[in-house]
Chains A and B, each alone.
Chain A
Amino acid sequence: MTETDVLTRKDILKEERMQRDSTRIFGFWVYLMTDCVLFAGLFAVYAVLHNNTFGGPSAKSLFSLHLVLTETLILLTSSFICGLGIVAAHHHNKRLTIVAFLLTMMLGLAFVGLEFGDFYHLASIGDSWRRSAFLSAYFTLVGTHGLHICVGLLWMAVMMFRLLKGKLTQSNIRRLTMLGLFWHFLDVVWIFIFTIVYLMGAVRA
């Protein structure tokens, strides 16, 4: 009754791995969805609290649009280069992939540096998160985005290490694809921060 027919192991495993990779990427999309909800929560909190300055400074008096515009351009560029890196990875061009991601990393670091500098400046002039509910919401929303960027940078560092040491394997390409999704997602979140926190803050009387 139990007649066995052994297919070649390689065939089965290859098929299973392909399926698993697509499942993982789908799973990552679902994770991004949950992160979206998380940011939606923080945006809602910011929307509720943005006028609660409690005698402290308001968005208009505080933010420098020049700095924010620079940050935005840096992040958008990094996202573009990261996209090139993904394309290179899919074409199995390891060198170009590494170059693109290193550039992305540098831009990401520059972004984090600028943001941290801005935070440090605000805190040093006495407008820290303790000052008012508005500032608490501002630091938390923008800071959570910054924290995500840091996680992305760490991820990139690990991937660069893997690529420098090893090959551009199928599993590494999948990881880079997910990393790319993550980076673009953070870009989109930043666009919302830029619009809602900075632009609308500057426009509001």
Chain B
Amino acid sequence: MKGFGVNLLGKLHLSSIQTKDLTTLGAAISILMGGLLVVILLSYTHRWKWLWREWLTTVDPKRLGVMYIIVAVLMLIRGGMDALMMRAQQATSVGSSHGVLSSSTFQQVFSAHGTIMIFFAAMGLMFGLFNLMIPLLIGTRDVAFPFLNATSFWLFCAGMVLVNMSLGIGEFSAAGWLAYPPLSELKYSPGVGVDYWIWSLQIAGIGSLMSGINFLVTILRKRCKGMTLMRMPMFVWSSLGASVLIIFAFPILTVTLFLLYLDRTLGMHFFTAGGGGNAMMYVNLIWAWGHPEVYILILPAFGVFSEVVATFSRKRLFGYRSMVWAIWAIVLLSFTVWLHHFFTMGAGADVNGFFGIMTMVIAVPTGVKVFNWLFTMYRGRIKFASPMLWFMGFIVLFTIGGVAGVVMAIPPADFQIHNSLFLVAHFHTMIVSGVLFGYFAGITYWFPKVFGFRLNEKLGKYAFYCWTIGFVLAFVPLYILGLMGATRRLDHYSSSLGWRPLFIVAGIGAVIIALGVVIQLIQLVYSILNRHEYRDVTGDPWNGRTLEWSVPSPAPSYNFAVLPEVRSRDPFWESKKAKVIHVPKKYIDVSMPKNTSSGIVIAVFALMFGFAAVWHIWILAAIGLLGLIIAIIYRLSDDNTEFILSAEKLARQDRVSDLAKEYVR
């Protein structure tokens, strides 16, 4: 009889609502206030209907791309706040002082930082760029499966909401961003934190997997006439590589998270200490996903750099063929290096030696790409717009990080570096300068195509300088600290070690990076306010080379009134050179996908299910699952998901011919 009500709510009690810890409470309240502000603003301007019709139910990849990037930027800020707190803690928690955070809060903060930055900031920016640009770059109107695409985005959002719910209700995982068992098992982490981690990644991860399938099929099946594989822009090639990696890597993540949850909930023994479980298997599985994941993130950034360096050097991309081969070498090799994340597990000299060598081999194709980019600049006419600056910063920092990576690829050298701050500095160098700088370059570069006006260049450059200088200040000390014996994830250290000055410098660096983010936000607002001044009337603000610049800015929802036909790698550049712009002579009817609320409905049920699974509220879980199934069946049974955009309308709207006059002139 005892507490049917309690069972009904699973592990959830009124006391689960966060009230004790001031930091998390503050974060939760500020998120709620932010949400409230948006609600008030929408109500005040009567924009609810508009929001629902134009955005929440949209299947237009460009709009989904914009929403991906908005969410990713918000998460970048959240993860950045976590980073600032970590820096504050490590600069103050020394000797007799225990810093600004309790050890449990600190451990939740770094676990959340890693999880959020990889899954919700970096992946979000990546899928945002995929959605914005891939259909335009390959000369098509849409992705292969528009509804699936919208659902992927909303599942990504559901995962994001779940991660942030842990701030207010319950707690987040304190077991690091990859939650190694047995620490992440029920015995050592009895709270709901690890379950929040599992389900937010599981839901977002399934969305990512679906996106991977979608973009693979889009690139392979929806290219315009004449665009052979070897004529695809490099961003499309690298996205194809990333999609293949997603398809092979993400199911492993799904399995691994699922098994950990079974351990924690049904008392299974996959990774437990005792019961025959094998925690080392978890470490192998999670890195069999985790290492490809790194390349999933960085390949598209490489693609952006390839587009940027060619455009701003006003030259064809150097070594296109080697670039393609390098991408596929990286795709293949990225599945053969995962053990380098745990040389210290004692796998034996042969195994360590093999994985060490494979790790080094993967540096070769990466190096090839760097030299090809450099030789794209050779005999060019380089314009140092901000995307190009991000590229230059990337080359410098990425090379340094790469050297650190090669050092760590030698297993015995790694024994002295593993899990130290040197390692932390290494992977931040790769991910910040490689992935983030790449996506920043891409967003600045393609912004006018999406919104019809450019971003302010001056502020963009200031942001770049802040990021670069801040980055050096924040991470060079960490390289040194690692060699001084500082391990990662310490919330306290002894004052006699002499680490403190370096931690303080790193903290200053983090503040400068934060300043860079603030400047980027100011840049955005300033550019929106002055959008008339920055308006891109030509559709081609950077003197571009590829198809996306041949349509007006902002690109219409149907992208191309008449699907293009290409004959070379840089079709738009070639036609500008020949002063021949193909103006459509005849328009035909186009069928376009209708907007649908099914994506967001499915995600709401998934969120409900995830939340219930975290708290063991089985009735809610059943409702969520049932709703999910019904929503999916309902949508998939709908045969009437398209509408016709008439040729007359297209002809009326199309502005390509006006633009053409400008170029030919």
Contact = CB atoms under 8 A, between A and B. Distances in A.
Q: Do chains A and B touch in the complex (CB under 8 A)?
A: yes
A38 B263 CA distance: 18
Interface string A10-39: 001100100000011011001101110110
A4 interface: yes
Interface in A156-188: 158, 162, 169, 171
Contacts of A49: 270, 276-278, 281
B267 A129 contact: yes
A54 B269 contact: yes
B632 to A, nearest CB: 10
A140 B588 contact: no
Given A26-B217, A41-B255, A136-B262, A6 B278 contact: no
Contacts of B654: 2
B285 interface: yes
B591 A13 contact: yes
B270 A42 contact: no
A100 B251 CA distance: 32
Contacts of A139: 268
Nearest to B210: A31
B251 A130 contact: no
Interface string B244-287: 00011011101110110011001111101011111001000100
Interface in B556-599: 583-589, 591
A18 B155 CA distance: 29
Interface string B611-623: 0000000000000
B651 interface: yes
Given A23-B144, A48-B278, A12 B270 contact: no
Given A23-B144, A132-B269, A133-B275, A34 B586 contact: no
B22 interface: no
A5 B587 CA distance: 6
Contacts of B256: 41
Interface in A129-144: 129-130, 132-134, 136-137, 139-140
Interface string A33-72: 1110110011011001100111000000000000000000
Contact of A9 (B258, B589, B639): B589
A134 B217 CA distance: 38
B61 to A, nearest CB: 15
A31 B213 contact: yes
B664 interface: no
Size class of B's contact patch?
A: 35 or more
Size class of A's contact patch?
A: 35 or more
Given A27-B145, A158-B633, A132 B276 contact: yes
B104 interface: no
B275 A162 contact: no
A34 B247 contact: yes
A34 B209 contact: yes
A23 B657 contact: no
Interface in B192-235: 209, 212-214, 216-217, 220-222
B345 interface: no
A205 interface: no
Contact of A30 (B247, B270, B584): B247
B589 A133 contact: no
Nearest to B272: A133
B270 A162 contact: no
Contacts of A54: 269, 274-276
A125 interface: no
Given A37-B247, A49-B278, A140-B262, A1 B583 contact: yes
Contacts of A4: 586-587, 647-648, 651
Contacts of A16: 591
Contacts of B276: 49, 52-54, 132-134
Interface centre among B247, B275, B281 (most CB of A within 10 A): B275
A38 B255 contact: yes
A7 interface: yes
A133 B259 CA distance: 11
B588 A5 contact: yes
B629 interface: yes
A147 to B, nearest CB: 11
A205 to B, nearest CB: 18
A154 interface: yes
Interface of B: 144-145, 209, 212-214, 216-217, 220-222, 247-248, 250-252, 254-256, 258-259, 262-263, 266-270, 272, 274-278, 281, 285, 583-589, 591, 629, 633, 637, 639, 644, 646-648, 651, 654, 657
Interface of A: 1-7, 9, 12-13, 16, 23-24, 26-27, 30-31, 33-35, 37-38, 41-42, 44-45, 48-49, 52-54, 129-130, 132-134, 136-137, 139-140, 154, 158, 162, 169, 171
Please provide the 6 A-B residue pairs with the shortest distance between their CB atoms, ordered closest to farther. A52-B276, A133-B276, A136-B268, A54-B276, A5-B586, A41-B255
18 contacts: A2-B584, A5-B588, A23-B217, A27-B213, A34-B212, A34-B251, A38-B254, A38-B255, A44-B285, A129-B266, A130-B267, A132-B269, A133-B272, A136-B269, A136-B270, A137-B270, A140-B262, A162-B637
